[in-house]
Structure 1
Amino acid sequence: MDYYLLALSVLPGLAICYYIWWRDKHEPEPKHLLIFCFLFGMLSTVPAVFLETMGQNMGIIADENLLKTFAFAVGVVGFSEEFCKFLFLRYYIYPKKEFDEPMDGIVYSVMVSMGFATLENVLYVAQGGYEVAFLRMFTAVPAHAAFAVIMGYFVGLGKFHLHKGKESLFLLKGLGLAALVHGLYDFFIFQVNFPSLQYLTFVVLFLAIFISFPMMKRLLHISPHKEESH
């Protein structure tokens, strides 16, 4: 892989990381934790591949059977990848004192996800070249970011008990919705019965990105550091 192709593989994820860091106006997170989250996201590709391989070995694959393809897309690919990201977010970052406002759920979730997406991108682009690099720059990488915002939104709400007694429910909702949207995005690509349905992947991508912005806006609005930053 040449340097230009490597740059095209890495820069989209880094650009999204910078954007999320820039949006976190009230109480920016320590840079070393952001970098650590990104690196863990890269490492989380390993258990995700392991879980996906287990699912395939159990016979859950994408084929002409739409239900089996849906189960593979949501239950194997979507859940495996989002679960591996969620584990680090929930059990390492979540308890830290630096996680001190709801928006941090989105910030840390996106950093983990962009680490995952960046390594995945490098591997795909190494095989597919410039065409794949440009395609994934506008599809797969921002899709991973949108899934992360959905997860991080509910993790942020759960952390600060904005809905009393529902912390676990919100954490599970974040994981479940991220896996579902991720799975739907992949399902329309994986299914082979109706080629025209593949275009619905872009609808899922657009909707996921579309709802990400009000989610970020709301968590910034309810930040306990909002007044301090003015």
Structure 2
Amino acid sequence: MPLILLSIAPALLIIIYIYYSDKYDKEPRHLLFICFLLGAIGSILISSVSHLVISQYFPGLEEKEIWIQLFKAFIVVALIEEFSKYIFVRYFAQRHKEFDEPYDGIMYAVMVSMGFAVTENLAYSFQGGIEIALYRAFTAVPAHATFGIIMGYYMGKAKFSRKRIKFNLIGLGLAIFFHGIYDFFLFINYIPGISIGAFVSLAVGILLSQKAIRIHQRNSHFRPK
């Protein structure tokens, strides 16, 4: 039970924060729950199957060469995981009539991301115990949230722009970039002190996420004039 709580609680706190940051037109809770489930089940299944397929063609991904770890971080992990989240935000949430202001991109992308993070957390925590659950509560879960916020910021812009494809792809690309940078520094932790780069990238992601939230709050279609 403690492992389950530690795996779920960080994501729940982030969801509550993002939900109440939606000041002017909160989203229906049943839609948010559906997006959470899509992340927890759909995104995980897509990324897990993709990882298995790629590992068959690239069996040397555990080797310590920098270029291999770069490929693993950006392609095998970041691209697959962020795209598996993106497709549900793009083809389910963004098309819904309730997606009616820019902030909704952040809200729905975070729900999918936190669903993904909870399932991933449970898997890692049951393997590694309470220490891993605590570590991920302050690293991996906030990281997934920042990737979701950055992606969702641009997907919120895309919904109300004539350049929908452009902004959607920018959101996906930046989520992949920040995810890849974060993982790359962790994957090459055999170089002393290099993992600090992951925490620097996470800090930058958090700052950008806060800025993205404030911008979409100001741009809400429901903000009193």
* TM-score when normalising by structure 1: 0.94
Amino acid at match of 1:50: V
Counterparts of 2:174 and 2:214 in 1: how far apart (Å)? Answer: 19
Matches of residues 1-230 of structure 1 in structure 2 within 5 Å?
A: 3-43=1-41, 44-59=43-58, 61-161=61-161, 165-192=162-189, 194-227=191-224
Counterparts of 2:115 and 2:3 in 1: how far apart (Å)? Answer: 18
- Residue deviations 1:85-141 (CA, integer Å, cap 9, x gap): 000100011111100000000000000000000011011111111111111110000
- Does the Cα contact within 8 Å between 1:62 and 1:190 map onto a contact in 2? no
- Aligned-residue offset at 1:54: 2.2
Change (3 A) 1:55 1:150: same
Query: What secondary structure, in the 3-state scheme, does the structure 1 residue paired with 2:8 have?
Result: helix
Counterparts of 1:135 and 1:192 in 2: how far apart (Å)? Answer: 16
Query: What secondary structure, in the 3-state scheme, does the structure 2 residue paired with 1:156 have?
Result: helix
Counterparts of 1:184 and 1:198 in 2: how far apart (Å)? Answer: 11
In the alignment, structure 1 segments of 5+ residues that lack a partner are: none
Greater mean alpha carbon deviation, residues 52-61 or residues 172-181? 52-61
- Residue deviations 1:155-179 (CA, integer Å, cap 9, x gap): 0011111xxx421111011111101
In the alignment, structure 2 segments of 5+ residues that lack a partner are: none
Counterparts of 2:212 and 2:164 in 1: how far apart (Å)? Answer: 18
Counterparts of 2:21 and 2:182 in 1: how far apart (Å)? Answer: 26
Structure 1 stretches of 4+ moved >6 Å: none
Counterparts of 2:39 and 2:183 in 1: how far apart (Å)? Answer: 20
Amino acid at match of 1:107: M
Counterparts of 2:65 and 2:93 in 1: how far apart (Å)? Answer: 39
* Percentage of matched positions with identical amino acids: 43
- Aligned-residue offset at 1:55: 2.2
- Aligned-residue offset at 1:65: 1.7
- Aligned-residue offset at 1:191: 1.7
Aligned length: 223
